[in-house]
Amino acid sequence: MIDLKALSIRKIHNAIKSGGISVKEVVEDCIKEINSKNKDLNVYLEVFSDVLAQAREAQKKFDEGEATLLTGIPLAIKDNILIEGRTATAGSKILSGFISPYDSTVIAKLKKERAVFLGRANMDEFAMGSSTENSAFGPTKNPHDQKRVAGGSSGGSAAAVSGGLAFAALGSDTGGSVRQPASFCGVVGLKPTYGAVSRYGLIALGSSLDQIGPMGRCVEDVEILFNAVRGRDALDSTSVETRTEHVSPKTVGIPRKLLSVGGIHPDVEKNFSESLSKLSSMGFKIKDVELPSINYSLPAYYIIMPAEASSNLARYDGVKYGFHVNGNDLLEDYVLSRGGGFGQEPRRRIMLGTYVLSAGYYDAYYSRAVQVRSLIANEFAKAFKEVDVIATPTTPTPAFKIGEKANDPLSMYLADIFTVPANIANLPALTVPSGFSKSSDNSSELPLGLQFIGRPFDERSLFEVGKKFLGE
């Protein structure tokens, strides 16, 4: 029997094509893992009832000689990416009962490939969080240690790939929500350049920051999924079609200022140093780069993102769809529906965002944060004249224990310190597994990740350096 967990998407495709295995068997392998593990891990909020019917349709494409690399590949889809006729809650009570009337663009593209959608993956409510503990449906647990978080906000997607409950997955990344859980769960994750992938049909958090991104077991799997969903879309005016000149990356930049902020776990520092030595031994030149304002990325992000979130979440009023509580008048309907439907973190961010957009504070906070954003983007552009990619740890710590940071939002926000700059500067970033850290009680090995940040629309360089680093 073929060990499917050891195979890449390309190898699975070739095995199905040669008749060594069927799409049904590939899908059933995932279903078996879901039935065995999902109750404990809480990866899927819903497993679709027509998965085997999807597998039959995919098999027909193989039988007719029309299969692509993603035909028949079982995917987990984050619960904020719309699929026509399916429930979508974005991990929130306020969208209970909402069924999408249309497909998001990424789903429409994957349907043409006849990929198999296994189900809706758990997430932090409206993608607000770094642990999936903010889901209205309970936290997702890390397959490497069930006492620990899977990361967030795409924790369900990362845990699905890591635990064998899917072969690849789609998540979304606003400030690190693909890369951080991918790092915590020991898989590969990509945050594409802003505009490289259509956001049409993605439930919005921060419209100038959000990007749909793929996760997989290896860099090539992520590359295959990215190439399938990328490209300009007439339904998303911020999406673009680009052709960039590609030169193989030779120089890796290190932003030392960002690494001196403190609070970095000793194992993360050690692993990062070892990763740089490995890159150097492979022929990459390691060079320090100056990014003077990069430490302001996180403060700027936590002004811009709540401001955009407060605007985007204003539409959830309990009137048109989803959760509703009857009050004595319309205003009380709004207050009771929003108060009961939104969890603690969305309420916190809505209030913060409304405050920074209010009269007298807009210029003091929001406008200045946008100026800082431009400054950081310009500094990255200057740095990329000297280096081809920039490397950092993906996260400052390994996966933390469930509940450890629940009452300390600031500590939770600091988990995004290495991932947020790429969103602020609209750059692509890839995380790859780089080693392990022993848990404090030595009961488990916790994955660590190495992040590569690239020039706008130069995902190809990230894939190239990532493959070399992992020996693909």
| Residues noted as catalytic | 78, 153, 177
What is the chain's length? 472
Is the distance from CB of 431 to CB of 188 less than 8 angstroms? yes
**Rounded to whole angstroms, how far apart are CA atoms 241 and 252?**
27
Pairing of strands 74-78, 168-173: parallel
Contacts of 332 (CB under 8 A, 6+ apart): none
Hunting for tokens 């979440």 — which residue is that? 313
- Count of alpha carbons within 13 Å of 20, Cβ hemisphere only? 11
Burial of 350: CB neighbours in 10 Å, binned 0-12, 13-18, 19+: buried
**Rounded to whole angstroms, how far apart are CA atoms 105 and 155?**
22
Burial of 136: CB neighbours in 10 Å, binned 0-12, 13-18, 19+: buried
Hunting for tokens 């500094």 — which residue is that? 379
Q: Of 98, 149, 153, which is closest to residue 125 (Cα–Cα)?
A: 153
Pairing of strands 251-254, 211-216: unpaired
DSSP-based three-state secondary structure for 431: strand
**Rounded to whole angstroms, how far apart are CA atoms 290 and 307?**
29
Is the distance from CB of 73 to CB of 111 less than 8 angstroms? no
Contacts of 420 (CB under 8 A, 6+ apart): 175, 176, 297, 298, 301
- Count of alpha carbons within 13 Å of 454, Cβ hemisphere only? 26
Coarse DSSP helix, strand, coil percentages of the chain, rounded to the nearest 5 percent: 40, 15, 40
